[in-house]
Amino acid sequence: MFKIDGKKTAATLREKLKKKISELKSTYKAIPGLTVILVGEDPASKIYVKNKEKFANEVGIKSEIVRYPNTIEEKTVLNKIKELNEDSNVSGILIQLPLPKHIDKRKIIEAILPDKDVDGFHPVNVGNLSSGYDSMIPCTPLGCYLLIKDIEKDLNGKHAVIIGRSNLNGKPMAQLLLKENCTVTITHSKTKDLRTECKRADIIIAAVGRPKLVRGDWVKKDAIVIDVGINKTDSGLVGDVDFDEVSKVAKAVSPVPGGVGPMTIACLLSNTVECFKKTRSN
């Protein structure tokens, strides 16, 4: 078994982006810009946003964070998005989730121009991805996909089992793997026999938020196992996969931390560069 090194793969991707951004700077006399909107005081969100800013600056992306208190009116956020949509210095807009309950997440996501939607959450991007057209791709599944492709170039006919059907991870992950001619099973909380489903998989992607759910005897020999889970427990941060058990049977397993997490941020930077190119070519 080998331990997938998400930190290293993400660092390689960031190096490539740094070069690309420096070329874009010479061509367009401008650099990609990413604006993150953070509403409220969610501690995890604050850490994510800080990391996003740090790595954006490192590769040469101009990063800005717009902070609002928890009590902010929806209209104020919508007006800000309108302003950012019209600002040619802003290539990508990210609304950090979760949002407070009084703000309609759907309305907010739909207010972002699809070409500035670095998260790939806008229905236009979701539709394009599921139709197999060019689209912005959500950062976490994109990161998982790149990790898988790094191990196995040819995914034709592989059976992939995804645990979790969220719009952020499970559903877009399925689309990416279908494009690679995988046979995809999406499982969820109502799935009858999760273990049996997993046992058939060549590739497992666990994105469900249940600490160490995937055990060693759920995994076929030489499967690839990608762990998207980030669960806070009394014994620290753990994923959705029992790493010690699964690493005894799998070909490759991504650890938590140090697996998917760094790739998600690197893919956000990559998506910002994609948005920059889209807004320049229009």
| Binding footprint of ligand GUN on the chain (CB under 6 A) | 94-97, 119, 139-140, 168
Return the residue matching tokens 């954006």. 56
Query: By C-beta, is 119 or 274 nearer to ligand GUN?
Result: 119
Catalytic residues: 52, 96, 119
- Could you tell me the strand order of the sheet in which 92-95 lies? 62-68, 33-39, 92-95
Name the residue type at position 130.
Answer: S
Rounded to a whole number of angstroms, the minimum distance from the CB of residue 119 to ligand GUN is 5
Can you state the angle between helices 6-28 and 260-281, rounded to 10 degrees?
20
Rounded to a whole number of angstroms, the minimum distance from the CB of residue 95 to ligand GUN is 6
Rounded to a whole number of angstroms, the minimum distance from the CB of residue 23 to ligand GUN is 27
Tokens representing 211?
Answer: 């600490």
**Rounded-to-integer distance, Cα 247 and Cα 24, Å:** 42
CB neighbour class for 39 (10 Å; exposed up to 12, middle 13-18, buried from 19): buried
Cα torsion 202, 184, 169, 207: sign: negative
Rounded to a whole number of angstroms, the minimum distance from the CB of residue 94 to ligand GUN is 5
Query: By C-beta, is 33 or 251 nearer to ligand GUN?
Result: 33
Residue nearest to ligand GUN (CB): 97
Query: By C-beta, is 119 or 227 nearer to ligand GUN?
Result: 119
- Of 203, 151, 206, 150, which Cα lies nearest the Cα of 181? 203
Query: By C-beta, is 94 or 256 nearer to ligand GUN?
Result: 94
